[in-house]
């Protein structure tokens, strides 16, 4: 047992230290995208309870992720971050979580081979329950109701009752995150998948369709590498893809600050709802509440940067979020759109480089490429997604910076939400077959592996 007193140096589980007022300074600052909770007393009761619950992640794990991201910042590793746009309580099942993990493991194996770098695996998982919205209301058939803001806030069903914000849902976010994380930890440490097994899955995937032959050369190279390892006495069957981290958008600040704890090792604050948190494109105001909250926590933090981001914005975010320039602390996730990345990203990278700051550069090729299909489904084209990734690599190669990773919305099943794919194509007509996302369109299992193979090829160009 670890000791529990405030003076303890022996545990990194910051369970018993008194709260630090720095976790609440955001309250004095305007906060965008917060729900209008109908009953502040009920909200207070829930957040009071959340402050008493055990942390979902350990501060030391957040530090480990920061070390891994520092390697990415130095060009010595690659980040794969992916999962749902919006997790839902209903999708907390062994099948859904298991398929997502398997997909990320398979992609990581392909990308490790392609990049010849360790791949840091971070899920958009175990906490990704809140969504920013461009409009706070939605009108359907002449009826206007509050927009769906994620299962953390209200229900997707288009009824007044479901759409009413309910703070009791924040407690459910904690419970569903805990259940998800528990399964993720069991699956990653329980030896379900070693490297050879993951490669066998990839081979099975390629065997499923003649189009998979396209990647035969890469798969064949990996076969050869596994044989080489066995022959050299390094047993690939014992290389398990164990390390896995969680992340989500730190959007609902009442929830995030209720799950912020003082680390008894150092006195530093950590958001213990996930290993890494990010600030979205709509809440990244330098003087806004989300940046104010994030600047006091010691987790690795990311910020989404859309096409309107100026280099002054980027430099101000660095100053505010990473004044000590700690490698691995700050990640910039650009989400420019395929048609803008080659024009907009270079200036940001150049100015950040010139300032001497070292950030992790990651490409989100999803959010700048969304459009509405003729049948009304929100979708994205696989080709546009690949084009943005290609542009991201081109920009970084031209400037001598490291294309540090990719941030994707994906799922492990065969949904039909994004259009295209070179192995199993989804057409616009097919979007209605299995469109299951509660928010943005996700790559399905096949499109995700397809993307990983194509990205591996970009590395080898």
The full DSSP string for 332-353 is EEE---TTTHHHHHHHHHHHHH
Nearer to ligand PEP, 281 or 450 (CB): 281
335 binds, among ligand PEP, Mn ion, none (CB under 5 to 8 A by kind): ligand PEP
Nearer to ligand PEP, 85 or 119 (CB): 85
**Can you tell me which of 256, 281, 322, 450 binds ligand PEP, judged by CB under 6 A?**
281
The full DSSP string for 83-127 is E-SS--GGG-SHHHHHHHHHHHHHHHHHHHHHHTS-EEEEEEBSS
* Owner of token pair 């007044």: 160
Least separation in angstroms between CB 85 and ligand PEP: 5
Least separation in angstroms between CB 109 and ligand PEP: 25
Nearer to Mn ion, 256 or 440 (CB): 440
**Residue 344 structure tokens:** 């907009």
Q: Is 406 helix (H, G, I), strand (E, B) or coil?
A: strand
Q: What is the CA radius of gyration of the chain?
A: 22
Least separation in angstroms between CB 41 and ligand PEP: 30
Task: Check binding of 77 to ligand PEP (CB under 6 A).
Answer: no
**Can you tell me which of 66, 163, 367, 380 binds ligand PEP, judged by CB under 6 A?**
367
* Stretch binding ligand PEP (CB under 6 A), from 198-206, 232-240, 275-283, 441-449: 275-283
Question: Where on the chain is the footprint of Mn ion (CB under 5 A)?
Answer: 85, 440
Nearer to ligand PEP, 167 or 365 (CB): 365
Specify which residues 419 forms β-bridges with: 381
Task: Check binding of 307 to ligand PEP (CB under 6 A).
Answer: no
CA–CA distance, 94 with 90 (Å, rounded to integer) = 11
284 binds, among ligand PEP, Mn ion, none (CB under 5 to 8 A by kind): none
CA–CA distance, 272 with 72 (Å, rounded to integer) = 23
Q: Which of 13, 56, 73 is nearest to 329 (CA)?
A: 73
CA–CA distance, 96 with 312 (Å, rounded to integer) = 41
**Residue 356 structure tokens:** 């001497």
8 Å CB contact between 424 and 211: yes
Number of residues in contact with ligand PEP, rule: CB under 6 A? 9
Least separation in angstroms between CB 246 and ligand PEP: 15
8 Å CB contact between 416 and 430: yes
**Can you tell me which of 80, 85, 119, 438 binds ligand PEP, judged by CB under 6 A?**
85
* Stretch binding ligand PEP (CB under 6 A), from 75-83, 106-114, 277-285, 307-315: 277-285
8 Å CB contact between 121 and 103: no
Task: Check binding of 132 to ligand PEP (CB under 6 A).
Answer: yes
149 binds, among Mn ion, ligand PEP, none (CB under 5 to 8 A by kind): none
Least separation in angstroms between CB 72 and ligand PEP: 19
Least separation in angstroms between CB 281 and Mn ion: 10
End-to-end CA distance of the chain: 52
**Can you tell me which of 68, 261, 335, 396 binds ligand PEP, judged by CB under 6 A?**
335
CA–CA distance, 37 with 45 (Å, rounded to integer) = 13
Least separation in angstroms between CB 311 and ligand PEP: 18
Least separation in angstroms between CB 304 and ligand PEP: 4
CA–CA distance, 286 with 454 (Å, rounded to integer) = 36
8 Å CB contact between 103 and 391: no
CA–CA distance, 248 with 122 (Å, rounded to integer) = 10
* Stretch binding ligand PEP (CB under 6 A), from 72-80, 278-286, 354-362, 442-450: 278-286
Residues that bind ligand PEP (CB under 6 A): 85, 132, 280-282, 304, 335, 367, 440
């Amino acid at each position: 047992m670890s000791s529990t007193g405030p003076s303890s140096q022996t545990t990194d589980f910051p369970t018993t230290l008194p709260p630090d007022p720095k976790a609440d300074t955001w309250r004095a600052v305007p906060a965008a995208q917060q729900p209008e909770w109908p009953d502040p007393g009920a909200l207070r009761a829930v957040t009071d309870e959340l402050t008493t619950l055990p942390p979902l992640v350990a501060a030391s794990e957040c530090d480990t992720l920061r070390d891994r991201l520092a390697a990415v910042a130095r060009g010595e590793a690659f980040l794969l971050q992916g999962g749902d746009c919006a997790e839902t309580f209903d999708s907390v099942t062994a099948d859904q979580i298991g398929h997502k993990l398997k997909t990320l493991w398979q992609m990581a194996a392909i990308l490790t081979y392609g990049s010849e770098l360790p791949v840091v695996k971070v899920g958009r998982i175990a906490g990704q329950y809140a969504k920013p919205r461009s409009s706070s209301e939605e009108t359907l058939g002449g009826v206007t109701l509050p927009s769906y803001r994620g299962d953390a806030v209200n229900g997707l069903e288009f009824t007044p009752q479901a759409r009413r914000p309910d703070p009791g849902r924040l407690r459910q976010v904690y419970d569903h995150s805990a259940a998800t994380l528990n399964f993720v930890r069991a699956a990653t440490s329980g030896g379900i998948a070693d490297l050879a097994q993951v490669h066998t899955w990839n081979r099975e995937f390629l065997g499923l369709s003649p189009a998979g032959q396209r990647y035969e050369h890469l798969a064949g190279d990996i076969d050869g590498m596994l044989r080489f390892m066995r022959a050299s006495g390094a047993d690939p069957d014992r290389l398990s893809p164990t390390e896995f981290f969680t992340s989500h958008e730190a959007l609902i600040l009442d929830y995030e600050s209720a799950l912020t704890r003082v680390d008894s090792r150092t006195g530093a604050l950590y958001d213990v709802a996930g290993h890494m948190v990010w600030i979205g494109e709509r809440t990244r105001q330098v003087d806004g509440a989300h940046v104010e909250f994030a600047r006091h926590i010691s987790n690795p933090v990311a910020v989404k940067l859309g096409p309107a981001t100026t280099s002054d914005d980027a430099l101000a975010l660095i100053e505010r979020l990473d004044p000590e320039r700690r490698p691995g602390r700050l990640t910039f996730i650009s989400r420019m759109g395929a048609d803008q990345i080659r024009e907009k990203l270079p200036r940001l990278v150049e100015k950040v480089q010139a300032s001497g700051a070292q950030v992790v550069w990651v490409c989100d090729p999803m959010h700048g490429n969304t459009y509405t299909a003729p049948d009304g489904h929100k979708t994205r084209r696989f080709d546009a997604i690949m084009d943005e990734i290609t542009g991201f690599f081109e920009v970084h190669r031209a400037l001598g910076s490291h294309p540090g990773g990719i941030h994707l919305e994906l799922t492990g099943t065969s949904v039909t939400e994004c259009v295209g794919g070179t192995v199993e194509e989804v057409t616009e007509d097919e979007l209605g077959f299995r469109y299951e996302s509660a928010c943005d369109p996700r790559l399905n299992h096949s499109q995700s592996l397809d993307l990983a193979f194509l990205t591996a090829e970009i590395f080898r160009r």
